Structure formats: structure tokens, C-alpha cells
Structure 1
Amino acid sequence: MNDTSAAARAAQRGITQQEIDQRVFDLYDEYCHGRIDRREFLARAAAIAVAGGSGLAMAQALLPSYARAQTISFTDARLKGSYVTYPSPGGNSGTMRGYLVQPAGSGPFPAVLVVHENRGLNPYIEDVARRLAVEGFLALAPDGLYPLGGYPGNDDDGRELQAKLDQAKLRADLLNGARFLKAHALSTKKLGVTGFCYGGGIVNYLAATLGGELQAGVPYYGVAADTASAANIRAPLLCHLAEHDERINATYPAFEAALKAAGVSYQIHVYPGTQHGFHNDSTPRYDEAAAKLSWQRTLSHFKTHLA
């Protein structure tokens, strides 16, 4: 059988995280962060000799299946979701769009901004916003790609579009989203922010930029903020890191030292055996135990500091 046939069989039966060679995970990380394209990712994975399996099958198994990531329906009676636009001065187009989800009831509610990865507002991030809403939070998930037409329906194109944006203006767009949400009529004016991968780095950036305007931050495997800005942080931080994520983790020792020096309240949890992206349940990088534990900690952090 050729690698393509092996990949098809693997897709049918499903490949677990434990079956995927670390070299394939490392290539996927390169691909996810735009350092190689999809074709090169699959070609280089196919060249990996794996006992009892196929490097190509493993690579294809890592590509997202967003049907797996929907845990809360769009029509769930516990929430109401809608797409909203709002002004974004200094951003890429002057206007932004996001997915706003409110819990059932009249509010007001504590508010949480949800920041996407480096590919726009995909279904997984929308589901995270709904997960927060059913826990009693007003959640806004901005689509940084809105100035270019919005999330295009697949991650490859989304990643390319996000790379084309003026990155400083994209950060302004996300900062404006935080301020729009905090000021929203349904908000208690208590603001938290969480984000994943690129979005995790934005959490750290927003914590330093917003200062006392932010009440809690939860970055998931996001690059640390510049150490010089740590003294501006006022919000307690809860940082989730994967064990096998050398590039991101290398940014934290200096950041942690700066947080300590500035007297910032923080926790850093490194989840054993996990890969970058372990919370994202659309691919085999998902680690159920770590995802559930980190999410419990996230909810507790927000409920404590946004009360």
C-alpha cells in the first residue's frame, strides 16, 4: 500500500495523539505558525519513516476537523449569539466585526474577550465563546480578518490573510474589541481576556497595554509580553503552557522574572506530555485531561477576579 492509502485508512479509524511521532508534531507546529506551507508540511511528514504507521497519515490526522470542536450549539437555549460590528480607530480598516455571545437573562454580565489563533475567527474559537457564555460571561470573539473579508472558511487561507495584515493595526483592532466589550451595555465593566497561540500572546500584550482596565488574563501557550512592559500589568495572569512547546516556553523565564519584580499576581502551569494547541479539540494535539483541567482553572480565575 502507498502512503495515501495508509493515510485514508488511518483517517477512517482515527489516530490518537499517542500514535503520532513527535517529529510530525514539530512539523505541524512549523506549518501552523506559517514557517512552511501545507504542501511542504505534508511532503516532509511523508518522508518520515515511522514504524507501524505512515508519517503522511499522521500529518493528515492533525489537520483540523471543526465538527469535533463544537461542544455548545449555536441555538443552545442558555445563550444568545450574534455578529456585531464596532468602530476600531487606528485599526486595519476602522471597523471590526466579532461574535458576541450573551448568557440567557437580562444581565449585566462579567465580560471576557476571546482572541483567536493566527488564522482568524474559526469555529473552534466561536465555540470557546459559547462555552464562556453558558458559564455566565458576556463573550466577544473578534475576527481580526474582518478588514480582508473575514475568516475565509479554512485555516490555510485564514493564516495567509492574517499574515498580510498590518500587525500593529491588528493589535489595535483587538485592543478596540476589548474596550468595546468592557463598555457594552450588558457588561458589568469587569473585563477578562483569554486567547490561544497568537491570541495567547495578545492576552499578554493587552494585559500590559490596558493596565488597570483589565481585571484578569488567561493566555494559552502564547508568547510572553516584552519584559519592559511587565510593570504595566495590573491584572492577575493565569498562563497555560504545553510541555512540548520549546519556542513559546523559552519566552517565559525572563517574563516571569519581570512579573515577580513588578509584583504582578500570576500563575504558570505547564501540562506534562502536551503539545502546543492542547486545548483545541479539533485535532489530535488535543489533550482531554489537560484541556479540562486548564479550562476549570480558567473559569475559576475569571469567576474569582470578575465577580
Structure 2
Amino acid sequence: MPIKIQSLQIPTPDGQADAFAAFPDDGERHPGVLMYADAFGIRPVLREMARELAGHGYYVLVPNFFYRHGPTPVVELPEYIGEEVRPAVIAQVMPLIEAHTPERVLSDADAYLRFLTTQPEAGAGPVAVTGYCIGGLLAMRTAAAHPGQVAAVAGFHGPVGADGPDSLHRLTAQVHFGHAETDLTPEALGELNQALDAAGVDYTSEIYPGTVHGFTMSDTDAFNPAALQLHWDRLLSLLGRTLTDS
């Protein structure tokens, strides 16, 4: 199936967020997925992942959520983010993360979802939101703020419990969390899952074996090919259960 990659500009209350979409180039409408990148932002590996997901029949929108600081690439990245360059890259990214307040996240989420659902190649039905690293937290906040619209949410190696149990009660989406071994102890996983149970969330939440933070990203030294495949298995299963062509 041929996949089209389209550069886009999303209007927001604070300006224009540059973005791209990946979708089957077949003239049909496909269920929409909002994909939040990790803190390193849009780069070739994210285009590959969006293309892969689009190949399974989805319209995938990937915004530059740091657009207030400039268009992609907001931070110049090496081709490979290894141990020797990671601290310097994170030092550049941290101020952007700290400036991305919950208010900005929710304002942007409104704009991203409004844009996504008006694209001619995207279906009119419910959408899914997925995210990596800090993007997992953005995905959770988006899903909690749009319970009628977001049918599925997935977060991978992200600080998904950072907003505490109160936000979980607003979730109506089906949820999958894929945690890195270095991000969450079994005890912390138990506490998170207890909070999800208490909130009545329909979820799966597991630590992917042998992983460190960032395991899905093939341009970093955290990459774990087996865990990336497990991520695809879990994500595609979730989307298959929750999204329908419309």
C-alpha cells in the first residue's frame, strides 16, 4: 500500500504548529491517530514509525509540540543519540519540556484534534492518541481532556502516572502502557495499576523485559528491537479493538 507523507501547519491559539501526516494514498478515509514524539522531537525515526502505523490503515498526525520555540528541528540532533552526546541533547531539551505547561498541552490538544478530524483523509469517528517518553504524558492528558472523542490511548516509556490518580477518573479510552524496566519498579507498576483499577479504566500496563528508557527509538542507544516489535503488537491490537473505519 503506498503511503503518503504530507507536511502540514496546524493553527493553534499561540500560532502555527508544524506537523506531518502519514496515511494510505488510496483516496479513502482512515481512522485518525494523534502521535506525540518523544522529547527529541520529529526526526527520521518518527517519520518511519508514522509510516509503519499508516501502513496498517491509519491516518497518523505527528505535531511538533515545541513549535513555540521554532519549527522542526527545534534542537539540532546528531544522527545517532548515543551515551556521549545524550547529556548535551537533554540539556537543550529540558527547558522546552519545562515550558510546556499543562495549560499549553491542553490548548494544543484541542487544536490538534480539531485539525485531525477535519482532514479529508481522516475518518470522522473516534481517534486514538499514542506517545513516547514525554509524549506518553501528553497522550494521557489529551485522552483525559477529550473522553468522548479519544477511544484509545497508549504510552511507551513515559511518565504516565505523573498527573496522579485524579486524571485517571476522566479516562474513558482503552489504555495500554508499555514501561521500561529502568522507568518503573514492579512496586511502582503495582501502584499505578491499582490506581487504574480504582478509576475503572480498561487497560493493560506492563514492564517490557530487558528495556531502558527510550527503547522504541532506533536512533538512540536505548533501542531494543524486540521491545519495539512488542510495542507494535500491543499498539495495533489496541487500535484494532477500538477504532473502526468511518
TM-score by length of 2: 0.83
Question: For residue 204 of structure 2, what is the amino acid of its counterpart?
Answer: Q
Question: For residue 10 of structure 2, what is the amino acid of its counterpart?
Answer: Y
Distance 1:94 1:250, change over 3 A: farther
**Are the aligned partners of 1:193 and 1:216 in contact in 2 as well (CA < 8 Å)?**
yes
Residue 158 (structure 1) shift: 6.0
What is the aligned length? 227
Distance 1:302 1:176 in 2: 22
Distance 1:166 1:296, change over 3 A: closer
Distance 1:268 1:119, change over 3 A: same
Residue 251 (structure 1) shift: 6.0
Q: What residue ranges of structure 1 are gaps of 5+ in the alignment?
A: 1-76
Question: For residue 151 of structure 2, what is the amino acid of its counterpart?
Answer: Q
**Are the aligned partners of 1:85 and 1:96 in contact in 2 as well (CA < 8 Å)?**
yes
Match of 2:153 among 183, 199, 217: 217
Match of 1:200 among 117, 136, 141: 136
Poorly superposed stretches of 4+, deviation over 3 Å: 163-166, 249-255
Distance 1:255 1:176, change over 3 A: farther
Distance 2:211 2:29 in 1: 37
Percentage of matched positions with identical amino acids: 27
User: Quick check: 1:298 aligned with 2:229?
Assistant: no
Distance 1:106 1:293 in 2: 31
Q: Pairwise mapping of residues 261-276 of structure 1 onto structure 2 (< 5 A)? A: 261-276=198-213
Q: What residue ranges of structure 2 are gaps of 5+ in the alignment?
A: 78-88
**Are the aligned partners of 1:119 and 1:161 in contact in 2 as well (CA < 8 Å)?**
no
Structure number with larger C-alpha Rg = 1
User: Quick check: 1:181 aligned with 2:105?
Assistant: no
SS at match of 1:184: coil
TM-score by length of 1: 0.68
**Are the aligned partners of 1:227 and 1:254 in contact in 2 as well (CA < 8 Å)?**
no
Question: For residue 11 of structure 2, what is the amino acid of its counterpart?
Answer: P
Distance 1:123 1:250 in 2: 36
Distance 1:158 1:83 in 2: 25
Distance 2:205 2:100 in 1: 31
Distance 1:137 1:234 in 2: 21
Q: CA RMSD in A?
A: 2.2
SS at match of 2:126: strand
Distance 1:227 1:130, change over 3 A: same
**Are the aligned partners of 2:129 and 2:154 in contact in 1 as well (CA < 8 Å)?**
yes
**Are the aligned partners of 2:24 and 2:55 in contact in 1 as well (CA < 8 Å)?**
yes
- The residue aligned with 2:3 is 79
Residue 195 (structure 1) shift: 0.6
**Are the aligned partners of 1:88 and 1:173 in contact in 2 as well (CA < 8 Å)?**
yes
Question: For residue 236 of structure 1, what is the amino acid of its counterpart?
Answer: Q
Residue 119 (structure 1) shift: 2.9
